[in-house]
């Protein structure tokens, strides 16, 4: 529930014959910069959590965790998501469906035979560096570098764009996700 | 311009071989509660300013000031405004056009013969008491009591709803304004 | 679910080595003019339905029906609603809470002792005449006259402003409702 | 101006003692699917126009045309644009400023020494294949393949995400643009 009683916006005291003071009820459906930052952090933690689930319990636990992540952090429950994962290509470049996204993260789906499971790569750490943030109502867009560290300490940098939509419970959900490897002239 | 460089959202330092730090460019099109409060205060000040212009320079100066207020604070430049003034009725209840709004505030328009000029009533003070504020992207709605004080010290209370739209310059403009006298059972 | 597969937006056929054609998945969260009209009609029908329930089953059935209407057509489930009913006044002018709205429609609440139940007045028909409609994303505002006909054939005209918010199920919910009797100079 | 007089939304005829019919004034700030398609087509035409200007008049004419395109089709006039061009990398991956975008399209800027001018490559044709379109108020997101044909007939396919914002004149402007070469496992 996105309700706050914001007394600061009650400019004047209402005293129509009594001494009662009313405070304005405030509903605010907008996304804040702080919420964007939290949603990015949550994505990083979720990726590591899937990797950890895989180490601890194999593919089954990883898939279970990945489903939790997709349910909680992506918008597939409300329609198609515009998702271009880093390593997807050809006719399976875009994963607008839940199944396509799940296959990308944990593999094991014959329909997406090229997917080896991006989230199973033993990710240990993440860093974000936003080049830009664009907030428009209940939708926020971010673009920047994401640096992921695997168990060997190797860092993979990707160019990443996200679109987050705030849902009715006040949670941010990914409705757009374009990730690509940096361009190399060679 | 609604641009801010928000270093706080730069979660990670970008060090791809160098020590350069990038700060995210942030564009935020949303309305804040503080901006809503300021827009309400600006409306109150503008009403008093029209009354003062009338006292100082008669109808001509009042109309000039009213035009400035309509240009700066209302959205007629971008299309129809949903405006139901307190004392308008019949076929002229709704003033979706600029001319209808101007006539309501300063009168002097034969097409709106019942308009005596609401802003010419010698208003000296104003108070707001918002019952509720609803913010949805670049649009904010407020509902509450507005208490206007005239030169004799008499207070008129009206039930008022406003809709403010943030324009590309970052200014809030009234696109909805429904004002009505309190219901009396007698 | 607000998902449509819109083949018309698939500008080009994707033939990367195959003859497969992809159609774009489209999610559109916006309100249309047709949806606004339907929501207004639904409000009119609901008012008559409460009146009919009262005739058929007394206060208990009327309250049951009013609760259904509030649950289905208003936004109280997501926070405060900016509601100024036609006949409410004083400190109870604004009904930002569910209980205040219910009391207005069907009475029977000692906290709102002046409420006799607006929906219990035997309403038989309704007509809308919008002076203006303002659509901004998932929020639409309307302003105009509403003419309600009671069982004696008498017509009551009110000046009415509504704000409709489209929820995640695609249903429009009233988040703003300002109703007032026409101003009379006498 | 986004004003239409929509008689269809005038549900009831207002006849308060007269036979006058009022039609509702409608302001609609939302983006439609058709507008998204037009904006994509406009981008394709603009790219070819810059190539043609280069062939006809060299770098000076190309830059002049590119500035027209950036002014008309991108949102740099309202703040930072989230732009990740196809062939940009390293610390210059993201072109949130006008100068960075211009350098990418036509080169000739020592600050962006790696830019050879993407729009100068003799582009002759374009096709779009949207995988998904997400419309949220005055902002629309698209993701899909774009196929560009050069003068030799060779086709370059890129994975492309756009964000279009409708401005106050009703024109769509690119506020997000992430373009990347398809992932190759080899």
Taking only the tens place, the pLDDT of each residue in C95-116 is 999 999 999 999 999 999 999 9
Give A8 or B48, the one with higher predicted confidence: B48
State the smallest CA–CA distance between residue C112 and chain D in angstroms. Answer: 33
- The residue with greater pLDDT, B14 or A58, is A58
Please check whether residue D178 is in contact with residue D143, taking contact to mean a CB–CB distance below 8 angstroms: no
User: Hey, are the CB atoms on A1 and C79 less than 8 Å from each other?
Assistant: yes
pLDDT digit string (tens) for C120-159? 999 999 999 999 999 999 999 999 999 999 999 999 999 9
Shortest Cα distance, chain A CAs vs residue D147, angstroms: 13
Q: Which of D131, D159, D165 sits opposite A180 (nearest CB)?
A: D159
Q: How far apart are CA B123 and CA B146, in angstroms?
A: 13
Q: State the average pLDDT for chain B.
A: 90
Share of chain D above pLDDT 70, in %: 88
pLDDT band at A8 (very low <50, low <70, confident <90, very high): very low
Predicted local distance difference test score (pLDDT) of residue D40: 98
Asked whether residue A133 carries a pLDDT value surpassing 50, the answer given is yes
Which residues of chain C are within 8 Å of residue A18 when distances are taken between CB atoms?
A: 91
A144–D94: do the CB atoms touch at under 8 Å?
Answer: yes
- DSSP-assigned letters across all residues of chain D: --EEE-GGG--S---SSS------EEEE----HHHHHHHHHHHHHHHHHHHHHHHHHHHHHHHHHHHHHHHHHB-GGGS--EEE-TT--GGGS---SHHHHHHHHH---GGGTT---GGGS-EEEEEEEEEEEEEETTEEEEEEEEEEEETTS-EEEEEEEEEEEE-TTS-EEEEEEEEEPPP---
| pLDDT of C6 above 50 | no
Burial of A23 (0-12, 13-18, 19+ CB in 10 A): middle
Residues D80-113, buried b or exposed e (16+ Cβ, 10 A)?
A: bbbbbbbbbbeebbbbbebebbbbbbbbeeeebe
Q: Is the ipTM of this complex over 0.95?
A: no
Q: Which chain D positions have a beta carbon within 8 Å of B91's beta carbon?
A: 14, 16, 18, 20, 22
- pLDDT of B22 reads 62
- Which chain A positions have a beta carbon within 8 Å of D134's beta carbon? 80, 82, 163, 175-176
Give the pLDDT confidence score for residue B179 in this predicted structure: 98
For chain D, list the contacting chains (3+ Cβ pairs, <8 Å). Answer: A, B, C
On the question of pLDDT at B16 being above 60, the answer is no
pLDDT band at D22 (very low <50, low <70, confident <90, very high): low
For the residues D6-21, what does the mean pLDDT come to?
A: 35
Distance (Å) from the alpha carbon of D25 to chain C's nearest alpha carbon: 5
Is the pLDDT at B21 greater than 70, yes or no?
no
- Disruptive mutation site among A23, A78, A88 for chain C (greatest number of C CBs within 10 Å): A78
* pLDDT tens per residue, range D116-132: 999 999 999 999 999 99
Domain ranges of chain A: 1-30, 33-180
> Which tens digit of pLDDT belongs to each residue from C24-59?
999 999 999 999 999 999 999 999 999 999 999 999
| Percent residues over pLDDT 90 in chain A | 87
Across residues B43-50, what is the average pLDDT?
98
C54: tokens are 């009262």
Q: Closest approach of chain A CAs to the CA of D133, in angstroms?
A: 8
At C65-92, the pLDDT tens digits run 999 999 999 999 999 999 999 999 999 9
- Of residues B149 and C4, more confidence is placed in B149
Taking CB atoms and an 8 Å cutoff, what residues of chain B touch C134?
A: 80, 82, 163, 175-176
The confidence band for A23, taking pLDDT boundaries of 50, 70 and 90, is: confident
Sort out which chain C residues have CB atoms less than 8 A from B83's CB and list them.
Answer: 143
pLDDT given at position D49: 98
Residue of A90, A118, A141 to mutate when probing chain D, most D C-beta within 10 A: A141
Mutation choice for D interface testing from C10, C19, C21, C130 by most D CBs within 10 A: C130
Distance from A84 to chain C by nearest Cα, in Å? Answer: 14
What are the chain A neighbours of C2 within 8 Å (beta carbons)?
78-79
In this predicted structure, what is the pLDDT of residue C11?
Answer: 30
Residue C80 has its nearest CB partner, among A16, A27, A175, at: A27
Using the predicted structure, report yes or no on whether residue D66 has a pLDDT greater than 80: yes
Distance CA D32, CA D135 (A): 8
**Chain C residues touching residue A22 (CB < 8 angstroms):** 91
- Whole-prediction pTM value? 0.90
Of B147, A7, B182, B38, which Cα lies nearest the Cα of C178? B182
- pLDDT recorded at residue B186: 61
Q: Which residues of D touch A (CB under 8 A)?
A: 80-84, 86-90, 93-94, 96, 114, 131-132, 134, 136-139, 141-145, 159, 161, 163, 165, 175-176, 178, 180-185
pLDDT at D134: 98
CATH ID of D33-180, from 3.10.450.50, 3.40.50.300, 1.10.10.10, 3.90.1150.10: 3.10.450.50
Q: How confident is the model at residue C185 (pLDDT cuts 50, 70, 90)?
A: confident
> Does D9 have pLDDT greater than 70?
no
């Amino acid at each position: 529930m996105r309700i706050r009683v914001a007394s600061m916006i009650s400019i004047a005291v209402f005293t129509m014959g009594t001494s009662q003071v009313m405070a304005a009820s405030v509903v605010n459906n907008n996304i804040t910069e702080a919420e964007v930052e939290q949603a990015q952090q949550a994505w990083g933690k979720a990726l590591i959590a899937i990797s950890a689930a895989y180490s601890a319990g194999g593919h089954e636990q990883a898939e279970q965790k990945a489903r939790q992540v997709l349910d909680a952090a992506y918008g597939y429950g409300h329609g198609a998501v515009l998702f271009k994962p880093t390593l997807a290509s050809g006719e399976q470049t875009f994963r607008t469906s839940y199944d396509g996204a799940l296959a990308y993260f944990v593999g094991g789906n014959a329909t997406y035979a090229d997917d080896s499971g991006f989230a199973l790569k033993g990710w240990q750490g993440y860093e974000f560096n936003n080049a830009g943030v664009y907030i428009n109502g209940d939708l926020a867009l971010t673009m920047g570098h994401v640096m992921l560290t695997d168990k060997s300490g190797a860092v993979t940098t990707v160019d990443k764009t996200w679109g987050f939509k705030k849902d009715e419970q006040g949670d941010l959900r990914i409705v757009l996700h374009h990730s690509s490897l940096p361009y190399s002239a060679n």
